[in-house]
Structure 1
Amino acid sequence: MSREEYTQNDTRSGSKLGNVSDQFEDSNSRRTFLKALGVTGIAGLAGCTGGGESYDGEENGDETTASSGGGETETEGSDDGTAGSSTLRMSATQRFGTVDPAKGTDYTQVLALVNLYDPLVFPDTEGNLKPHLAEDWTVSDDNKTYTFTLREGVTFHSGNPVRAEDVKFSAERFLDINQGYSSLLGNVLSKENVTVEDDRTVSFTLDRVHSPFLATLVLLFVVDKKAVMDNAADGDFGDRGDYAQDYLNNNDAGSGPYELAGFERQAQISFSRYTDYWQPFKDGAYDNVVVKIITKDPTVRSLMKTGELDVSSQYQSEETYQALAKEDDIRVDSIPTVTMFYFKINTQKSPTDDPAVREAMAYGFDYETARNQIAPGSLPAQGPLAPSFGVHNDDIVQPTYDPEKAKQILADAGYEEGDITVQNTYVKDFGLEEKMGLLFQQNMDEIGINVELNPQTWGTMTELATSVEKTPHVNQVFYGPVYPSPDTVFYNQYHSGTASTWMSMEHLEDSKVDSLIDEARSTVDPDTRGQLYADLQDHLANLYPDLFIFVQSKKHAFAEDVQGYTFRPSMSFDYWFPDFYQE
């Protein structure tokens, strides 16, 4: 069955795939390129936090089921129980591990949370913070007390009113459970300093001036205190029991635009529109959204073509995007982002604890081939921060491919060919990262460094990151802002206080880096803070803690009648379902 037959709509024409290299259109040139890397038939684009499988360029007409990911049971792609209402069907490449707003950290979890719950403030397309659950706020003269006035008449999905007491309770729960992104507030806010002024007014008094505070509040999702306490079990938090952690792992207690309608953790998650939401929906907004866990490119291609899938994930192979762009009723959009692709280097483990080794690797890597032939459409990097940030330091010297310079750096440091062996770790079965590893291996061989390729599951990579000893020498990771501030790039990745996570596999311990980050966080004046960020970027670039490979320009395949996708520079806020509508 075709998409046209499935949707019973006329075929529509529209914009087609842009910014895609001819390298992958021409199968002969593609094979030539892959042979140059020493392998033939590896899959295309995928991401660092999902599960994926190779696509070998051949259509598999029998594979039309939605995979649950990680080898779990598959479910039929078209049965979502939403017949008779408008449903947006999306795919994701990894399971939703939790929908507890105190615990979610990755892109699928935050995708769910931003639709089930409301934060006080919300980022716009430029990263500016706009009123959301809070209709306005004030900041004290000493820049430590933030007072928020809540919107009137907002209700949770239970029908209970949203009160200042719920905001205070949500902050306390966030800090007490101490998981997810709680560290963003835990170092600057004591729960005793969250004060209910009246039913609609709540204040936060910080321990010290903290300029990113407002930006971090996009990740403080407000929960229904009554619903949580009604479902709490015995636990470690006194009269609050377990804070209903078991309950909120599978249910929602939010006020967001959509309610949780169904949750098969290994297969799919379903949402239904909350009809009493405080903000009006667009004409054509979807009644339901179903996100299916699909790891196989042929499955995505088949379901998109038959109309059983409306939006692909951002982690499909280049071949899949090329094929879907040729369909009359499907378009593929290329979307610039502020997410960067890093080779994170363990700076505490021999031999990459030597800055000379890191510098040599930086000049020995072929960025142009990586960007233009492995990740076509991606943009050049220049230092640790994406250039589209307003505080980007445009004077940063970005290393370029210069194997002779790389060899000289190693020789000057006393190394001979074959002295150095490093591991390059990437997400298993993700074609883009596998190709990057092969390119890195080839480039390093040219300068006398041996590379052992070490594919692992994403879960294993996050576990390896928890200690210096376990963390491999070089690790391929996509990282973008989790809240709309440059602070999220610098603090989460480079401050010594946040070591031992997948975001900070550099294990960098540098007093000047810590000092510049801390000073920027305590600086209110934006110009002064901007200069601190410029100095920080320059210092980081000279430490060579990473290879800054490229800035991501992600792609999605959309059914032609799906409109409204809106990019926001904060993790998964571009998948806010009220943005989408059926044309």
Structure 2
Amino acid sequence: MKAFSITAALAAFALVSAIAPATVRADAAKPVLRAGLTLEVSTLDPARATNYGENIIVLNVYDMLVMPMPDNTVVPWIAKSWDVSDDRKTYTFHLRDDVLFHDGKPVEADDIAFSMRRVLTLPGLVGGYLRNVDKDKIEVVDPRTVRFNLKEVDPTFIRALVNLKILNGKLLMANKAEGQYGEFGDYGVKYLQSKDAGSGPYYIADFKAGEGITLKAFEGYKLRPFEPGAPVEVKLRIIPEIVTLENKMLAGEFDVSLVSPSPPRVKIFADNPKFAVDQWPTLNNYYVVMNTTKPPLDDVNVRKAISHAFDASTAMNKIYSGGIRLKGPVPEALLGKCEGIATYEYDMKKAAEYIAKSKYSADDLKKFKLEYASTAGSEPFEKVGLLLTLNLKRIGLNAEVKTVRWTDIVAAQTKPESAYPFVFFYDSARVRHPSPLLSFYTKKGWGAPYPSGGIYWENPEVTALMDKASLLPDGAPEQYALYCEAQKKIAAEAPAIFAHNDIRVQPRWKYLVKAAKQDGGSSQYEYRFETFRFDTKDPDFVANQSK
């Protein structure tokens, strides 16, 4: 039996956040963090949150058994320690005794078990990360001990737990609606459309769909104490137009930008002495995924032609603020060195040559309508779509951009007949391990309610490599060599365009003296707002807080 007990680190990384409307007068003891989001917030349910705004909200409202760190490790959080069986299939977690939900109820093992069963039952991305947990063999040993049994060895399990937000089971069951889950009704889905059941540093004070959300500090929070200058309230407003959002930043209505400015406008903030501009590399990995069941995307030569027709440099450096080219599903920062991967540089001549090799005639290719689903409210996504579809038309493909709500995109991806031919998005590598990113290129990833779930591509050799890697000690060189081989086989058949992982550019007012300055170790964890600090004596802070 291996025992793990890491002292819970109560500091380390800086994070960022959000707001909007106005306070009448600045109160130095009660600073309010204000920021904007460009994408709609369509759910507050941690089992269903997928876009960056939803993730930022739920990671501030809920806590987890383990907390991710910037070095891609995890430390105990609600769990103070855990034991792992010799066969690496049984995990026993020992819980802290001082963690409270927002209604004052202690967090106990029953809540951990409830939260795990819920994500494994409801459709959603989180359940996919934890699919190896046997839902029927979750054990509540005592109020402070819970045990999970895995169906098979899973090297990502501990890291994947950063996605399991712990819910107040008693509260949700007291507010359940009628539903398809027997005694659990709707599992609290309706309740969580506008309310929370969490234990995190903030609770949901107000939510207006399409407008914004207000979070307030939870006074009973013990896991990381609020320090002077930390925001006691967070206001996030939905601002679909990036230029409008940037102008509100300049006017002092927002304190920090949660969205990188367009490259031409970065200089406006950099040249303004009242602003700081932070930059750091992220693991936000951008892809154009293809539904390989839909003709002509079932033809590898067509997919290679499309990959060569993608102007990655323009997308990365003109539409976005720089980054590092991807060579496959997994960035080098997670996979390490992997030589011999097929790459597809922007080359319209090569694109035309691959089209000529297709099993489809030129006339046939024109008959296939290829929709690029552009997430509503995202100007960069639309610009990338226009860039790509224009080039695809040049090689004889009937491609067009279609604006679609994010929730409709992820729902469509769950079935091959409804999944879009192209979806551009980024995966923020919620689980910092090669396996989850590679698994979308096996049958295990088919139909996940996420853009990558709509690829529907498999090479049996890739699946065999992944299965073999899962049995090896996590992090072993032999394991990563197998992941490298899987990456090479995937890239060779081009089931997606592997674009880039980006550089985060974050303008902030200088009175926000502590904010996100590096990747947080998982999706948007740099934006845990209780780690932010204001200089409440700064004249600009006093002036702006009343706007």
TM-score (norm 2): 0.85
Given candidates 364, 386, 401, the residue that maps to 1:454 is: 401
**How far is 1:542 from its partner?**
0.7
Given candidates 18, 21, 39, the residue that maps to 1:78 is: 21
- Pair 1:274 & 2:225 matched: no
Do the aligned partners of 1:82 and 1:288 also contact (CA within 8 Å) in 2?
no
Do the aligned partners of 1:233 and 1:242 also contact (CA within 8 Å) in 2?
yes
Distance of 2:37 and 2:471 partners within structure 1? 38
Given candidates 178, 182, 191, the residue that maps to 2:127 is: 182
Do the aligned partners of 2:327 and 2:491 also contact (CA within 8 Å) in 1?
no
Distance of 2:46 and 2:385 partners within structure 1? 35
Distance of 1:80 and 1:487 partners within structure 2? 46
User: CA, structure 1 residues 577+241, in 2 after alignment: closer, same or farther (shift >3 Å)?
Assistant: same
| Match of residue 577 from structure 1 | 529
- Name the aligned partner's letter for residue 445 of structure 2: T
Structure 1 runs of 4+ with >6 Å offset: none
SS at match of 1:556: strand
Do the aligned partners of 1:391 and 1:533 also contact (CA within 8 Å) in 2?
no
Distance of 2:184 and 2:25 partners within structure 1? 37
Do the aligned partners of 1:444 and 1:450 also contact (CA within 8 Å) in 2?
yes
**How far is 1:481 from its partner?**
1.0
Given candidates 451, 473, 491, the residue that maps to 1:541 is: 491
- Name the aligned partner's letter for residue 484 of structure 1: R
**How far is 1:431 from its partner?**
3.8
| Match of residue 543 from structure 2 | none
Distance of 2:443 and 2:488 partners within structure 1? 18
Distance of 1:429 and 1:249 partners within structure 2? 21
Distance of 1:485 and 1:214 partners within structure 2? 11
User: CA, structure 1 residues 107+364, in 2 after alignment: closer, same or farther (shift >3 Å)?
Assistant: closer
CA deviations 1:541-574 (Å, max 9, x no partner) are 1111112122222322211122231422422222
Comparing 560-569 with 318-327, greater Cα deviation is found at 318-327
**How far is 1:424 from its partner?**
5.0
| Match of residue 42 from structure 1 | none
- Pair 1:370 & 2:278 matched: no
SS at match of 1:181: helix
SS at match of 1:161: coil
Aligned length: 505
Distance of 1:379 and 1:224 partners within structure 2? 41
User: CA, structure 1 residues 163+465, in 2 after alignment: closer, same or farther (shift >3 Å)?
Assistant: closer
- Name the aligned partner's letter for residue 459 of structure 2: D
Given candidates 422, 427, 447, the residue that maps to 1:479 is: 427
Distance of 2:415 and 2:177 partners within structure 1? 33
| Match of residue 6 from structure 2 | none
User: CA, structure 1 residues 412+521, in 2 after alignment: closer, same or farther (shift >3 Å)?
Assistant: same
- Root mean square deviation, CA, Å: 2.6
Distance of 1:299 and 1:374 partners within structure 2? 17
User: CA, structure 1 residues 337+190, in 2 after alignment: closer, same or farther (shift >3 Å)?
Assistant: same
Aligned-residue sequence identity (percent) comes to: 30
| Match of residue 4 from structure 1 | none
- Pair 1:95 & 2:30 matched: no
User: CA, structure 1 residues 148+240, in 2 after alignment: closer, same or farther (shift >3 Å)?
Assistant: same
Distance of 2:359 and 2:120 partners within structure 1? 49
Distance of 1:432 and 1:179 partners within structure 2? 26
CA deviations 1:104-161 (Å, max 9, x no partner) are 2332222121111110011100211111111111111010111111113222222222
| Match of residue 106 from structure 1 | 51
In the TM superposition, 1:197-208 aligns within 5 A as 197-208=141-152
Do the aligned partners of 1:351 and 1:420 also contact (CA within 8 Å) in 2?
yes
Distance of 1:153 and 1:309 partners within structure 2? 35
| Match of residue 550 from structure 1 | 500
**How far is 1:463 from its partner?**
4.4
Distance of 2:316 and 2:332 partners within structure 1? 16
SS at match of 2:190: helix
**How far is 1:411 from its partner?**
3.5
| Match of residue 456 from structure 2 | 507
Distance of 2:321 and 2:160 partners within structure 1? 32
| Match of residue 161 from structure 2 | 217
| Match of residue 472 from structure 2 | 523
Do the aligned partners of 1:424 and 1:476 also contact (CA within 8 Å) in 2?
no
Distance of 1:169 and 1:454 partners within structure 2? 41
**How far is 1:251 from its partner?**
1.8
Do the aligned partners of 2:329 and 2:487 also contact (CA within 8 Å) in 1?
yes
CA deviations 1:4-32 (Å, max 9, x no partner) are xxxxxxxxxxxxxxxxxxxxxxxxxxxxx
SS at match of 2:324: coil
User: CA, structure 1 residues 194+327, in 2 after alignment: closer, same or farther (shift >3 Å)?
Assistant: same
Do the aligned partners of 1:123 and 1:568 also contact (CA within 8 Å) in 2?
yes
- Name the aligned partner's letter for residue 170 of structure 2: K
SS at match of 2:200: coil
SS at match of 1:449: coil
CA deviations 1:185-223 (Å, max 9, x no partner) are 2x3222332212222221111122111111111111112
**How far is 1:232 from its partner?**
3.2
**How far is 1:443 from its partner?**
3.7
User: CA, structure 1 residues 229+352, in 2 after alignment: closer, same or farther (shift >3 Å)?
Assistant: closer
In the TM superposition, 1:396-407 aligns within 5 A as 396-407=341-352
| Match of residue 257 from structure 1 | 201
- Pair 1:560 & 2:507 matched: no
Distance of 2:401 and 2:419 partners within structure 1? 11
TM-score (norm 1): 0.80
User: CA, structure 1 residues 315+455, in 2 after alignment: closer, same or farther (shift >3 Å)?
Assistant: farther
Distance of 1:391 and 1:261 partners within structure 2? 43
CA deviations 1:408-460 (Å, max 9, x no partner) are 334445777666346251425744334333433454455x3334222222344
Gaps of 5+ in 2: 1-18, 536-547
User: CA, structure 1 residues 91+392, in 2 after alignment: closer, same or farther (shift >3 Å)?
Assistant: farther
Comparing 77-86 with 104-113, greater Cα deviation is found at 77-86
Do the aligned partners of 1:267 and 1:293 also contact (CA within 8 Å) in 2?
yes
| Match of residue 26 from structure 1 | none
Distance of 1:315 and 1:199 partners within structure 2? 44
- Pair 1:490 & 2:438 matched: yes
SS at match of 1:407: helix
In the TM superposition, 1:59-458 aligns within 5 A as 77-79=20-22, 84=27, 85-185=30-130, 187-278=131-222, 279-314=224-259, 316-391=261-336, 393-413=338-358, 420-421=365-366, 423-427=370-374, 430-444=378-392, 448-458=395-405
User: CA, structure 1 residues 400+174, in 2 after alignment: closer, same or farther (shift >3 Å)?
Assistant: closer
Distance of 2:456 and 2:527 partners within structure 1? 31
Distance of 1:474 and 1:176 partners within structure 2? 28
Gaps of 5+ in 1: 1-65, 67-76
Distance of 1:361 and 1:236 partners within structure 2? 42
Do the aligned partners of 1:342 and 1:548 also contact (CA within 8 Å) in 2?
yes
